[in-house]
Amino acid sequence: MTIAVLKRDKHCEINLPWPINALNTFTMTEHTITNAEIQALVAQGAADIAAATTSQALQDARVAYLGKSGKIAAHPYFQTIKDAAPEQKKIIGADRTAATAQLTAALDAKKIAIEAAELNERLAKETIDITLPATPAPQGSIHPITQVTNELIAIFAEFGFTVAEGPEIEDDFHNFSALNIPESHPARQMHDTFYLRGMLGEPGQETPAVLRTHTSPVQIRTMLANKPPIRIIAPGTTYRSDSDMTHTPMFHQIEGLVIDKSINMGHLKGLLNDALAAFFGLEKLPMRFRASFFPFTEPSAEVDIGCKRGRDALVIGEGDDWLEIAGCGMVHPNVLRNCGIDPDEWQGFAFGCGIERLAMLKYNIPDLRTFFAGDKRWLTHYGFAPLGGQQ
């Protein structure tokens, strides 16, 4: 029998899951093992090696056949080499080389095959589970002011309101005079106004520039630019020169204005009650109007909602305490007149409400000043996930 002996020079060709460099070079020598017993032994060895399925079984086969006192080394045929004639020695030696080489080649090829199989098995087991939730990427958060503003816009949108805007740098006319607060009127002292250098307004009618002290000038801008009926809300930033535990120089308000033919205070009360209940997520919200004064509304009222002041928590909608939440009233005829609207034909209401206050109450934020401190930990804690919900 002629056995082809594959002598591995560098790498055997193996069945790897990826291509490897063609470094597989083999030198073929041909030698016929002369001894029948050795032929059978090599055939048996090749069968044992082929049957091995684990690295350990293969290692056992290697030791059994090629080990120091393995089946090849210990075979009586090879023992005879010592005493053989020189010609015979050559043949026995060649037989030994051929037998060893063939078994080694079989072992090496099988070793690589087993390792490849084991690797494949591990790779199959270690596939990425794409159903696992991804590690979230760091993301910013929605500031509570923005969140609450958006909530209010959504609620009033349901009642048919559109959003109106006005400048934060206003002129005295829109911020005060047109709202029935003439110069030297004591009501001006209610607002600690930031006056800016310079004048603003139509040419020839400029008045001092101010940072708007409330969102009410948007009422004026809306009524000057639009014919009634009008139904708007105007959320925005406002400024007063005031800073203590419960006041910041910058804060936010939401203004509401409805002008129509037969709008009355009952509509105002019903709207505010429904809107505030919706905002706080309550079925029913106790609410009362308290007589008050604003130069631009007549009659005017302060809006209180029912609450319970616990030792360390304030519960909205329960108990028999009251919490002031907004100012409102029927738009003063002078204001309508200032905007070219006939008060004998049209009437309506307006309201104004602090947004920080609503945010603090709804989301249990204890300190007003933290809203504007820009502390990332605060923003992470009180902020909202960009796609909805609290973080």
Token digits of residue 179: 């709202």
- Closest separation between CB of residue 193 and ligand PHE, Å? 12
The CA distance from 341 to 334, in Å, is 9
Residue among 297, 312, 328 nearest 180 (CA): 297
Residue 348 binds to ligand PHE (criterion: CB under 6 A): no
For the beta carbon of residue 183, count every other beta carbon within 10 angstroms.
10
Task: Please say which residue, 49 or 234, places its beta carbon nearer to ligand PHE.
Answer: 234
Q: How many residues bind ligand PHE (CB under 6 A)?
A: 11
Interacting stretch for ligand PHE, rule CB under 6 A, among 76-84, 135-143, 195-203, 326-334?
326-334
Question: Of how many residues is the chain composed?
Answer: 391
The DSSP secondary-structure symbol of 117 reads H
Token digits of residue 45: 């060895």
Amino acid present at 362: K
Binding ligand PHE (rule: CB under 6 A), the pick from 102, 175, 216, 347 is: 216
- Closest separation between CB of residue 331 and ligand PHE, Å? 8
Residue 297 binds to ligand PHE (criterion: CB under 6 A): yes
**Is there a contact between 199 and 209 (Cβ–Cβ < 8 Å)?**
yes
Task: Please say which residue, 288 or 381, places its beta carbon nearer to ligand PHE.
Answer: 288
- Closest separation between CB of residue 282 and ligand PHE, Å? 23
Task: Please say which residue, 98 or 328, places its beta carbon nearer to ligand PHE.
Answer: 328
Task: Please say which residue, 141 or 238, places its beta carbon nearer to ligand PHE.
Answer: 238
Residue 350 binds to ligand PHE (criterion: CB under 6 A): yes
- Closest separation between CB of residue 191 and ligand PHE, Å? 8
Amino acid present at 272: L
The DSSP secondary-structure symbol of 320 reads S
Interacting stretch for ligand PHE, rule CB under 6 A, among 259-267, 310-318, 334-342, 347-355?
347-355
**Is there a contact between 60 and 71 (Cβ–Cβ < 8 Å)?**
no
Closest chain position to ligand PHE (CB): 352
Sort strands 297-309 and 195-200 into parallel, antiparallel or unpaired. Answer: unpaired
Token digits of residue 192: 């600690």
Residue 222 binds to ligand PHE (criterion: CB under 6 A): no
Q: For residue 291, give the H/E element and its range.
A: strand 287-294
Residue 235 binds to ligand PHE (criterion: CB under 6 A): no
Binding ligand PHE (rule: CB under 6 A), the pick from 173, 294, 382, 384 is: 294
- Closest separation between CB of residue 352 and ligand PHE, Å? 3
The CA distance from 204 to 150, in Å, is 38
Task: Please say which residue, 79 or 162, places its beta carbon nearer to ligand PHE.
Answer: 162
Name residue, tokens 């009586």: 76
Name residue, tokens 């006005």: 166
Enumerate binding residues for ligand PHE (CB under 6 A): 214, 216, 255, 294, 297, 327-329, 350-352
